[in-house]
């Protein structure tokens, strides 16, 4: 076949087959269509680090804080990935849902915290992309922040088909297949939106959420429930904490130049 080796012919045939599967899936689900998923999300382990966006503000104040859960956290359900052998083979231990992750001290992970009111708009748009990786049939990070018009690089690190179905309500939705390992694409969100949901129709347990803001003043609580927002100018701000199951809470926070103000959010288990 035109001088190709047997290995090259097999690789080409496999790529064509996966591309055909991707087209069929996109025709079936449509752009932004398909059965809605619930708000729960999953992760391969409890210690997957939450993404915290480095803050490039020009101020000298900061807000540091913690997020707690009051009451008994729901049991983390076990995820079945055996529908796709490629997914199943990448995990040597059980995979659990992570819509609610609490450590032994009741500290809540994966809470998006940002300045809702009072922050100056960023003078420049970051050119360094935020990466959303699909690895082990999982989105990483699960919760992240990004500025308007900042590049979002979406990567398929798995040797199986994924489709990235972004379901914003303010920004332009998209639904694109990545059938081959190593594929990348770059997207941007032009308008602020809390939050943008991502899902994979091929693997319905895969979910992620992005907080899109016009400034760099945001963070995500880590496994200890901690977050930090640096580089704030002196002033009074409305700080909002968003959790995918427990909703939002706000606080008014005033900081002076050079001050580090401590705050605490407490969500109630339902």
* Lateral strand order in the sheet of 226-232: 226-232, 61-70, 260-268
Lowest model confidence (mean pLDDT) among 17-21, 62-66, 107-111? 17-21
Model confidence pLDDT, tens digit, residues 226-256: 999 999 999 999 999 999 999 999 999 999 9
pLDDT score of 97: 85
What radius of gyration do the chain's Cα atoms show? 20
Q: How far apart are CA 198 and CA 3, in angstroms?
A: 43
211, pLDDT greater than 80: yes
DSSP state of 91: -
Confidence (pLDDT) at 28 = 44
Q: Is residue 120 very low, low, confident or very high in pLDDT (cuts 50, 70, 90)?
A: confident
Over range 141-167, report the average pLDDT. 97
C-alpha to C-alpha distance for 27 and 45, rounded to whole angstroms: 33
pLDDT, tens only, 56-95: 467 999 999 999 999 999 988 889 998 899 999 999 898 8
User: pLDDT at position 44, please?
Assistant: 52
- Does the predicted model carry a pTM greater than 0.75? yes
Give the pair of three-digit tokens for residue 212. 């899109």
- What pLDDT sits at residue 205? 93
Rounded to the nearest integer, the mean pLDDT of the chain is 84
123 pLDDT exceeds 90? no
Q: Are the C-beta atoms of residues 240 and 248 closer than 8 Å to each other? A: yes
pLDDT value of residue 121: 75
CA distance linking residue 190 with residue 193, whole number of Å: 9
Whether the per-residue pLDDT at 17 is higher than 70: the answer is no
* Mean of pLDDT values over 11-30: 44
Q: Which CATH architecture has domain 6-268?
A: Sandwich (2.60)
Give the model's pLDDT for residue 53: 43
Residue 203 tokens read as 């693997």
pLDDT of residue 37: 28
pLDDT greater at residue 88 or residue 28: 88
Which sequence spans correspond to the domains of the chain? 6-268
**What is the percent of the chain with per-residue pLDDT over 90, rounded to a whole number?**
70
pLDDT at 7 over 50: no
Q: What is the pLDDT of residues 171-188, one digit of tens each?
A: 999 999 999 999 999 999
The DSSP letter of residue 102 is B
């Amino acid at each position: 076949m035109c001088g190709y080796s047997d290995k090259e012919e097999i690789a080409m045939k496999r790529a064509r087959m996966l591309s055909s599967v991707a087209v069929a899936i996109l025709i079936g689900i449509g752009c932004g269509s398909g059965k809605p998923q619930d708000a729960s999300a999953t992760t391969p382990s409890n210690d997957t680090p939450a993404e915290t966006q480095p803050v490039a503000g020009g101020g000298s104040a900061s807000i540091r804080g913690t997020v707690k859960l009051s009451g008994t956290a729901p049991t983390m359900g076990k995820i079945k990935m055996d529908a796709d052998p490629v997914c199943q083979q990448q995990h040597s231990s059980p995979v659990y849902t992570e819509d609610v992750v609490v450590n032994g001290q009741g500290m809540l992970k994966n809470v998006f915290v940002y300045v809702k009111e009072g922050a100056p708009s960023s003078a420049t748009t970051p050119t360094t992309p935020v990466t959303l990786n699909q690895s082990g049939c999982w989105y990483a990070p699960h919760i992240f922040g990004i500025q308007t018009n900042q590049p979002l690089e979406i990567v398929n690190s798995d040797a199986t088909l994924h489709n990235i179905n972004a379901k914003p309500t303010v920004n332009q939705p998209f639904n694109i297949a990545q059938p081959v390992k190593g594929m990348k694409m770059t997207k941007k969100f032009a308008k602020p939106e809390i939050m943008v949901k991502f899902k994979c129709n091929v693997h319905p347990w895969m979910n992620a959420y992005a907080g899109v803001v016009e400034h760099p003043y945001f963070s995500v609580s880590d496994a200890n429930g901690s977050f930090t927002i640096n580089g704030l100018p002196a002033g009074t701000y409305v700080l909002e904490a968003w959790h995918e199951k427990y909703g939002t809470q706000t606080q008014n926070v005033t900081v002076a130049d050079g001050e580090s103000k401590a705050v605490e959010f407490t969500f109630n288990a339902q």
